[in-house]
């Protein structure tokens, strides 16, 4: 590991670094003031309600043990007639009164929480004024009293990231709830008169009464998306509670309701761009400050991109002490963003830490697969896992830049899709391309590759173009890959229909906002937030994401689309807000993304490993894929065509079969991360 200190950042940074004396016990307060705040904590939760029987204490114990890495500091349980709740706690400060479960005054309502309620002090004050009495100083207790006032609608008042389970003893009602964006996960299994829930799949799989039967349609979805979209999981009997949703389980029945969504239809009156820039800046500052209050070491995951750099800028502004920053790099220059991260670290005088990830980091992949619990093929999960491990050596809380792209139109595919949409708006273009595309497909000259791709896309409607941009295996590719048996088992399933349904239900009236809305509903909670949650919680690191502040997201959704994507420039409104605050080199450089040089690794150090796994007799014997199709993908990649996303997806899937499906439920010791390589 290389370490770059904050004193390389010019006079301001040097002054900060000279004052900084890093200790494990130091705390960061707003504007440099050390504050003793009784603050929330990250946890893992689990439990079961059985309307026709009892819940064994040792089952709750084993479910808690399976998520111990999420909260290794203490374990709490509640057992009653036909119900068991469990929680693993990660202390953000050494609370004297905040152990969970938390009860109402008369003990009739009990709750376990994974997450943070940022506005709990305001809520507490209001509840006390109406006669509620509090027994603790924790944020969790406000949920109990809000529920007494509002029932399941209590979630509307909560500002934060959370997944909680609340048991109403008088009504024998279980309430599960998940935060608006889906930052904190929650899985459940409903069968007959019982319902089980947990923060991770492995905890549910501790219960032998929950079937481990595979949902092959979910695997079909996985090969399209690179993750299994909610509400499905890879197991037929287990579901994800979608973001911004509550589940009430009462009298053996479970009802799921959505309580929030972004409004892209209502736009704010147009004002000067300077006013909008100031409003965005102020909203970001407020979101960062809310997430900086802690009495434990706090830092930031810094990629060197616009979003994480903006978070670091706001953190540096709010603190008199140097912010600790953490970055991952690669030997391959095409994927290495360390020079940009160093530039930001220098600008803001941070205490900067770096790690270079090389192909031998792959030895952690089986452990990573077990942590995710179902197939998850975003290859950036690998460096994120190591980045979290690096950060946890120095801090307990880390802020991230997640969510900026999906709110402010940061992906280049948005600009490409908008350009195609405008071209296709000419009524003659699409019919002409439907004729031209098959002709160009028959002409195999390499110089016509871009023309063939453009013709294919211009022949499609907008929803189909979006599907092509985000999918990993298109329909024809999946058909060529699947064995007859696998194809028959998923006949009638359509991952594309998931996207198309959301596209058609969108409240947006323009192309850009429609893409943003579908990404917020799918890619953000299904991929990005899962990746960060699992990677950080595997190391007992709490990740906070200012760009996922729902008020900031609502502000971004209300902006006219041409303020987010202007003349082909992505993130126009955000860049304008950050101009003069971040270096121009950071704001104006092309988006690189937090990618992994998997294509190079699969042609180099990992080429034999991939063949050994994917062409192994055990893999072939599963009967899912045609051997010649898999072998053809590997050969095609070796020959120079980039098939790495598809090969990686198949590799992760097979490792999931070996590490999760074929293996017994992992013990707590087996869940623990490996050392950094």
Cα separation, 372 vs 349, whole angstroms: 35
For residue 152, give every residue at least 6 positions away whose Cβ sits within 8 Å of its Cβ, in sequence order, or none.
175, 177, 246, 248, 257
Q: Is 191 exposed, middle or buried (0-12, 13-18, 19+ CB in 10 A)?
A: exposed
Task: State the Cα–Cα distance between residues 84 and 80, nearest whole angstrom.
Answer: 6
Those residues whose C-beta lies under 8 Å from the C-beta of residue 488, and which sit 6 or more positions away, are none
| Ranges assigned E (strand) in 312-374 | 324-330, 351-357
The alpha-helical segments, DSSP class H, found in 506-597 are: 511-521, 523, 529-537, 550-558, 561-564, 572-578, 584-588
Is 299:325 a contact under the CB 8 Å cutoff?
Answer: yes
- Separation between Cα atoms, residue 103 and residue 101, nearest integer Å: 7
Element (H or E) spanning 647, and its range?
A: helix 644-656
In 3D space, the residue among 293, 371, 306, 363 whose CA is nearest the CA of residue 533 turns out to be 371
Q: Residue 492 contacts by C-beta under 8 Å, 6 or more apart in sequence?
A: none
**Continuous segment of H or E residues that includes residue 67:** none
Radius of gyration of the chain (CA): 25
First to last CA, the chain: 10
The DSSP code for 296 is S
How many whole angstroms separate alpha carbon 549 and alpha carbon 554?
A: 9
* The token pair that represents 168 in the structure block: 């109403």
Query: Rounded CA gap, 54 and 61, in Å?
Result: 15
Q: How many angstroms separate the CA atoms of 63 and 381, rounded?
A: 25
| Number of other residues whose CB lies within 10 A of the CB of residue 27 | 18
Distant-in-sequence, close-in-space partners of 450: CB < 8 Å, separation ≥ 6: none
Which is the catalytic residue, given 43, 467, 471, 510? 43
Helix (H, G, I), strand (E, B) or coil at 623: coil
CB atoms within 10 A of CB 57: 12
- Structure-token pair, residue 224: 């399209």
Angle 556-560-565 from CA coordinates, rounded to 5°: 85
**Nearest-CA neighbor of 194 among 394, 53, 10, 35?**
53
Confirm whether 43 is a catalytic residue: yes
Q: Residue 200 corresponds to which tokens in the numbers above?
A: 């991770």
Residue-wise burial string across 379-399, b where 16 or more C-beta atoms lie within 10 A, e elsewhere: bbbbbbbbbbbbbbebbbbbb
φ and ψ of 355, to 5 deg:
-145, 135
Chain-centre distance for alpha carbon 227: 11
Residues recognised as catalytic: 43
């Amino acid at each position: 590991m290389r370490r770059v200190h904050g004193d390389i950042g010019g006079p301001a940074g040097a002054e900060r670094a000279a004052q900084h004396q890093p200790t494990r016990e130091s705390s960061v307060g707003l504007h440099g003031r050390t504050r003793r705040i009784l603050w929330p904590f990250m946890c893992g939760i689990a439990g079961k309600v059985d309307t026709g029987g009892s819940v064994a204490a040792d089952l709750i114990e084993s479910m808690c043990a399976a998520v111990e890495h999420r909260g290794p500091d203490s374990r709490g349980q509640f057992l009653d007639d036909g119900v068991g709740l469990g929680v693993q706690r990660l202390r953000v400060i050494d609370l004297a009164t905040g152990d969970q479960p938390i009860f109402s005054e008369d003990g009739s309502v009990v709750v376990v929480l994974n997450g943070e309620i940022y506005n709990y002090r305001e809520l507490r004050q209001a509840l006390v004024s109406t006669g509620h009495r509090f027994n603790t100083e924790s944020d969790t207790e406000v949920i109990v009293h809000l529920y007494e006032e509002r029932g399941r609608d209590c979630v509307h008042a909560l500002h934060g990231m959370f997944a909680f389970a609340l048991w109403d003893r008088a009504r024998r009602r279980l309430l599960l709830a998940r935060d608006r964006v889906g930052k904190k996960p929650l899985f459940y299994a409903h069968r007959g008169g019982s319902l089980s829930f947990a923060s991770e799949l492995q905890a549910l799989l501790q219960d032998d009464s929950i079937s481990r039967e595979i949902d092959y349609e979910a695997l079909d979805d996985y090969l399209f998306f690179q993750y299994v979209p909610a509400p499905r999981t890879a197991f037929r009997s287990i579901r994800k509670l979608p973001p911004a949703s509550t589940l009430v389980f009462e009298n053996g029945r479970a009802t799921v309701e959505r309580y929030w969504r972004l409004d892209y239809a209502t736009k704010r009156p147009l004002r000067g761009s300077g006013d909008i820039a100031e409003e965005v800046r102020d909203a970001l500052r407020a979101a960062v400050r809310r997430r900086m209050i802690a009495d434990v070491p706090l830092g930031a995951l810094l990629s060197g991109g616009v979003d994480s750099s903006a978070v670091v800028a706001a953190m540096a502004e709010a603190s008199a002490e140097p912010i600790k920053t953490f970055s991952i790099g690669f030997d391959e220059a095409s994927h290495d963003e360390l020079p940009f991260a160093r530039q930001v670290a220098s600008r803001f005088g941070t205490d900067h830490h770096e790690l270079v990830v090389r192909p031998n980091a792959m030895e952690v992949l089986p452990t990573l697969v077990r942590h995710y619990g179902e197939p998850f093929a975003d290859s950036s999960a690998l460096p994120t896992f190591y980045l979290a491990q690096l950060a946890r050596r120095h801090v307990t809380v880390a802020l991230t830049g997640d969510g900026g792209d999906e709110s402010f139109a940061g992906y280049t595919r948005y600009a490409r899709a908008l350009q195609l949409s405008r071209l296709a708006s000419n009524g003659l273009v699409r019919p002409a391309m439907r004729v031209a595309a098959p002709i160009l497909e028959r002409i195999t000259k390499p110089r016509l590759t871009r023309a063939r791709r453009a013709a294919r896309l211009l022949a499609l409607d907008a929803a189909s173009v979006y599907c092509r941009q985000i999918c990993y295996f298109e329909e024809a590719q999946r058909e060529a890959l699947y064995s007859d048996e696998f194809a028959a088992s998923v006949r009638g399933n359509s991952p594309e229909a998931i996207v198309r349904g959301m596209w058609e239900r969108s409240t947006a009236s323009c192309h850009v906002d429609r893409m943003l809305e579908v990404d917020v509903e799918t890619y953000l909670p299904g991929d990005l937030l899962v990746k960060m949650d699992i990677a950080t919680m595997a190391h007992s690191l709490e990740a906070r994401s200012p760009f996922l502040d729902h008020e900031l997201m609502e502000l971004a959704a209300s902006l006219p689309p041409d303020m987010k994507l202007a003349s082909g420039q992505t993130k126009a409104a955000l860049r304008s807000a950050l101009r003069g605050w971040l270096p121009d080199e950071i704001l104006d450089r092309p988006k690189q993304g937090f990618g992994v040089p998997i294509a190079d690794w699969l042609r180099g150090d990992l080429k034999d490993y991939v063949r050994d796994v994917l062409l192994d007799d055990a893999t072939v014997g599963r009967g899912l894929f045609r051997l010649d199709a898999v072998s053809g993908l590997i050969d095609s990649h070796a020959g120079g065509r980039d098939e790495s996303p598809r090969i990686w997806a198949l590799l992760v899937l097979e490792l999931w079969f070996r590490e999760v499906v074929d293996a017994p439920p992992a013990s707590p010791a087996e869940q623990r991360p490996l050392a950094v390589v």
